[in-house]
Amino acid sequence: MQDTWQFQIRMTVSDERALALRADPSAQSYAPLHAVLQRHHATVTCQYDAFAGYVKEAEELGTAAYPLYEWTRQTIENPEKKAKYLRSFTVYVEGEQIYSKETADSLEAELEALAREPESGIERVFKYDTNPANNPQPPRSGDHPT
């Protein structure tokens, strides 16, 4: 079963890098990061923006079909969580938010090398897998964001 897990890379960045990446998900304003993303056919998406997009779509199409609507809305309305998620970015490879271990390992190594450079603005790099035992499960109806 282990061979079937897919992976995702996320990174936490400085406020300044976050502003730049939200405006330019291909990171053209910082050549070393742009080169890594290009090599992997990747872009980054701000987690706050993704959450806000989910809430907007749910409100436009009807929240009944969006089981995480309430949790996500409460999350983005919480000032502390908003600040956290504005600095958190998911790396999408070829438009996908999960990908092979090989791809994730390569991205992780290159991004961690960049994170060692103070001018990168990359503070932390995380690798997640799709194994439910390793990840929090979606909140049950009525649960509040933590």
68 domain residue, yes or no: yes
144 domain residue, yes or no: no
Greater confidence (146 vs 64) lies with 64
Q: For 63-108, what is each residue's pLDDT tens digit?
A: 999 999 999 999 999 999 999 999 999 999 999 999 999 999 999 9
> How large is the average pLDDT for residues 42-59?
97
3-state helix, strand, coil in the chain (%, to 5): 55, 20, 30
29 domain residue, yes or no: yes
- In what helix (H) or strand (E) does residue 64 lie, and over which residues does it extend? none
Per-residue pLDDT at 1 exceeds 70: no
| Structural domain that includes position 88 | 2-129
> How large is the average pLDDT for residues 1-14?
86
What percent of the chain shows pLDDT beyond 90?
85
138 domain residue, yes or no: no
Output the pTM of the full model.
Answer: 0.88
Spatial distance between the Cα atoms of 143 and 53, rounded to a whole number of angstroms: 21
Total domains in the chain come to: 1
139 domain residue, yes or no: no
Q: Which of 89, 98, 107 is nearest to 22 (CA)?
A: 89
Local structure of residue 117 (DSSP, 8 states): S
Please give the pLDDT value at position 98: 96
Cα–Cα distances in angstroms (integers) from residue 69 to residues 91, 100, 132, 133, in the given order:
23, 28, 21, 23
Per-residue pLDDT at 136 exceeds 50: yes
